[in-house]
Amino acid sequence: MATAFMKWLERSPADYERGIQLLTLGRLERLQRELVENHIGSGDRVLEVGCGPGTLSVRMAAAGARVTALDRSRSMVEQAEIRLAQAGVAGAVPLIHADAATIGDRFEAGSFDRVVCSLVLSEMPDASRRLFLRECHRVLAPNGRLLVIEEVRAAGWGARVLQAVIQLPLRSLSWLLTRTGTRLVPQLAQTLELAGFKTRVSAQELAGTLQLLVSEPAAVASAKKPLRPVVVGELAHHTSLRTWLLNLWELVFRILPPYPSWEPGVYTLGDPGPKDPVLVTGNYDLTLRRLAWALEGQLDAWVLVVDSSGINVWCAAGGGFLTAERIAGGLRSSGLDGFVNHHAMVLPQLCANGVDGWRLREETGWGVHWGPVRAEDLPAYLAAGRKKPGGMRWVAFPLLDRFEMMTATLGFYALLILLPVAIFWRPMLGPVTVSLLSLSFFYAAVHPLLPGRDGLAKSLPLALLAVGGMLIHSALFDPVGAPTLFGRGVGLSALALFVAAELQGMSPLMRGEQANWGWEAAIGAALGAIYWLLPRAVGWR
Amino acid sequence: MEAPSLGTLLREHWELAKNLRGLQIELDGEKCKGVWQCYEVCPVGCWRPDYEAGKVEFHHGERCIACGACVLQCPEDAIELK
């Protein structure tokens, strides 16, 4: 869990831009140019929502528009700042770090002639999009337009299948290289029509799957009515074939996307009333099902599920996927105000590495309280008046968790090792599989007993134990020659190094595995060299 | 703008690894006002409130996993991770 995975998840603006380029095969740029040329006039007041690294904002400002740019990601805002400065328009374009759902609180009615969102609507949870579109009606001046660039689902089943097939490798590659992905809004044009916008497609690329839509606010009665707060669902523990399949996937392939996730919004736990607590968490499926399992029958509460891109709260906060801005936006669009008569939220302590508590207090006016590390401590924590004794605030890594995390990493890393072995070194597949699995679970079991503070240090005693055990075994039951013993020893040492490094990234008590990445690579290479050279030097081969 | 090459990716990971190994907490005792948010959020128990002085102590530094929670939650900007 720790730092390495969070760091890996972290997505830099440069990565994002490279990812989007890959995903859209460079066609996004054409649509953006089209948007500026045909729909942005000199002197227009433009709000760009989700400006990303600022490419489109720079273009619109260069065309003479008075642009205000907004993004919910801090690193994107910083990158946009640099981009704007390079283009010489820094002072002219105010940059705002906030979630799109909060625009109604920031701008006066009729402030803008154009609201622009490029690949943003699809990133929004349903509730945020509903609120955002409603607020667009308000901040747009008469004759204002909403300009949307979005990836849409191809029309017709055949085209859809083709789209999916073509995009699968593209999406996997973009995710692996840059942690960037896009979702599709089903029936985007209808969604915009329902929100009170007369919409037409102004231009399209990639066989109509990337579109520029121009939306004109229409006087629709429903757009004026206040939004009713909605409870998205109930947080209740249940088991079914589906939950078992999810358990299996989340156990073995936990670190591989797509991460199963829930629609963000307000969920009820038990039968909450206006005075009951508000618990905030991310939208990873396993998080929510475990929360339901731990708390059902013990607590009546409102659970605000915030869009964390389907990632657990610790990693999401570390990677910038769960932030004060996302929580503020989620709170604003949830309508929670309509359900409770207090303004206090309890956050999971483990998202404190990425959710700026003070900024969240400032943005929302709500009290922010750091809850316990583990969900099952919540009833005691709340009963004690939001006080937590030491044990509630510290992470532990007990046996069961170690086995769980070992399995969760093995799913991916075993593939990484065993696939090449299966292809290139078939006879060794059996022994390597058995060694890898037994070393992994042996290491997970004795992990706290092995000397050494990190995975690199612990890999030495692990390797010694493995090689020692192998020697004793062959002395007693399986007498083989020195060359075979040597080969097995080197192989086991290399696996021990790999296994110890692997669990380090999953331990909450150690710095990430990348901290030792260089050393592990060097030792691995040295083992390879020894395996290659020594038998030749002593004349075994 | 081009797709990242394997070289850039490896270099980025290498830099990351180097940084991660060397990260150390630095507490500016002057700035600390004893808000104890660091104690509130630290998942490995590095911090201990000093009730008499109204400050905080970084008394289990060896446990630090460089998660950055204390740095982010300190309202006085008294903690740095570098």
Note the ipTM here: 0.87
The count of CB pairs under 8 A between chains A and B is: 94
Which residue in A has a C-alpha nearest to residue B74's C-alpha? A358
Closest CA to A352 of A394, A375, A318: A318
Look at B3 and A407; give whichever has higher pLDDT.
Answer: A407
The DSSP secondary-structure symbol of A227 reads P
pLDDT greater than 50 at residue A236: yes
Interface check for A327 against chain B (CB to CB < 8 A): the answer is no
Mean pLDDT across chain A: 87
- The CA distance from A112 to A140, in Å, is 5
The DSSP secondary-structure symbol of B77 reads -
Q: Tell me whether residues A349 and B44 touch, CB distance under 8 A.
A: no
What kind and span of H or E run contains A381? helix A378-383
Q: Which two tokens stand for residue B30?
A: 């002057």
User: Nearest-5° angle of CA A246, CA A247, CA A249?
Assistant: 65
> Measured between beta carbons, which residues in chain B are less than 8 angstroms from residue A17?
1
> Measured between beta carbons, which residues in chain A are less than 8 angstroms from residue B63?
509
What kind and span of H or E run contains A301? strand A301-305
- For residues A282 and A316, the answer to whether their CB atoms sit within 8 Å is yes
Q: Tell me whether residues B65 and A511 touch, CB distance under 8 A.
A: yes
Look at A274 and A203; give whichever has higher pLDDT.
Answer: A274
Interface check for A176 against chain B (CB to CB < 8 A): the answer is no
Interface check for A109 against chain B (CB to CB < 8 A): the answer is no
At residue A76 the predicted structure's pLDDT band, cuts being 50, 70 and 90, is confident
Question: Which residue in A1, A3, A83, A322 has the most chain B C-beta atoms within 10 A of its own C-beta, making it the best mutation to test that interface?
Answer: A3
- The CA distance from A283 to A261, in Å, is 5
Q: Tell me whether residues B72 and A22 touch, CB distance under 8 A.
A: no
CA A381 to chain centre: 28
Question: Which residue in B5, B13, B21 has the most chain A C-beta atoms within 10 A of its own C-beta, making it the best mutation to test that interface?
Answer: B21
Interface check for A9 against chain B (CB to CB < 8 A): the answer is no
pLDDT greater than 90 at residue A69: yes
- The CA distance from A195 to A39, in Å, is 21
Look at A438 and A164; give whichever has higher pLDDT.
Answer: A438
Residues of B near A (Cβ–Cβ under 8 Å) read: 1-4, 9, 13-14, 16-18, 20-21, 23, 37, 40-45, 62-63, 65-69, 72-73, 75
Q: Tell me whether residues B3 and A353 touch, CB distance under 8 A.
A: no
| Positive or negative: CA dihedral A446, A450, A456, A462 | negative
- The CA distance from B29 to B53, in Å, is 11
Q: Which residue's structure tokens are 């989340």?
A: A250
Q: Which two tokens stand for residue A1?
A: 């869990």
For the ranges A235-244, A378-387, A516-525, the lowest mean pLDDT is seen at A516-525
pLDDT greater than 80 at residue A509: yes
At residue A514 the predicted structure's pLDDT band, cuts being 50, 70 and 90, is low
Mind listing the pLDDT tens digit of every residue in chain B (82 residues)?
444 566 776 777 677 767 777 788 999 999 999 999 999 999 999 999 999 999 999 999 888 888 899 999 999 999 998 8
At residue A3 the predicted structure's pLDDT band, cuts being 50, 70 and 90, is very low
- The CA distance from A344 to A351, in Å, is 17
CA atoms within 13 A on the CB side of A195: 24
pLDDT of residue A210: 83
Reported as a single tens digit per residue, the pLDDT across B35-51 is 999 999 999 999 999 99
> Measured between beta carbons, which residues in chain B are less than 8 angstroms from residue A21?
1-3
Query: Average pLDDT, stretch A69-77?
Result: 89
Query: Average pLDDT, stretch A44-71?
Result: 93
Q: Where are the alpha helices (DSSP H) in A477-538?
A: 482-504, 517-537
For the ranges A7-21, A224-238, A307-321, the lowest mean pLDDT is seen at A7-21
Reported as a single tens digit per residue, the pLDDT across A118-165 is 888 888 888 889 899 999 999 999 899 999 998 887 777 777 777 777
pLDDT of residue A339: 93
Look at A214 and B20; give whichever has higher pLDDT.
Answer: A214
CA A382 to chain centre: 29
pLDDT of residue A23: 67
For the ranges A250-254, A305-309, B11-15, the lowest mean pLDDT is seen at B11-15
Interface check for A7 against chain B (CB to CB < 8 A): the answer is yes
Closest CA to A326 of A363, A365, A290: A363
- The CA distance from A287 to A312, in Å, is 6
Q: Tell me whether residues A357 and B68 touch, CB distance under 8 A.
A: no
Q: Tell me whether residues A511 and B41 touch, CB distance under 8 A.
A: no
pLDDT of residue B18: 72
pLDDT of residue A203: 83
Question: Which residues are within 8 A (CB) of A247 and not within 5 positions of it... i.e. 6 or more apart?
Answer: none
Closest CA to B57 of B23, B27, B81, B24: B27
Closest partner CB to B4 (pick from A177, A511, A514)? A177
Q: Which residue's structure tokens are 């709260």?
A: A313
- The CA distance from A468 to A462, in Å, is 10
What kind and span of H or E run contains A396? none
- The CA distance from A92 to A110, in Å, is 20
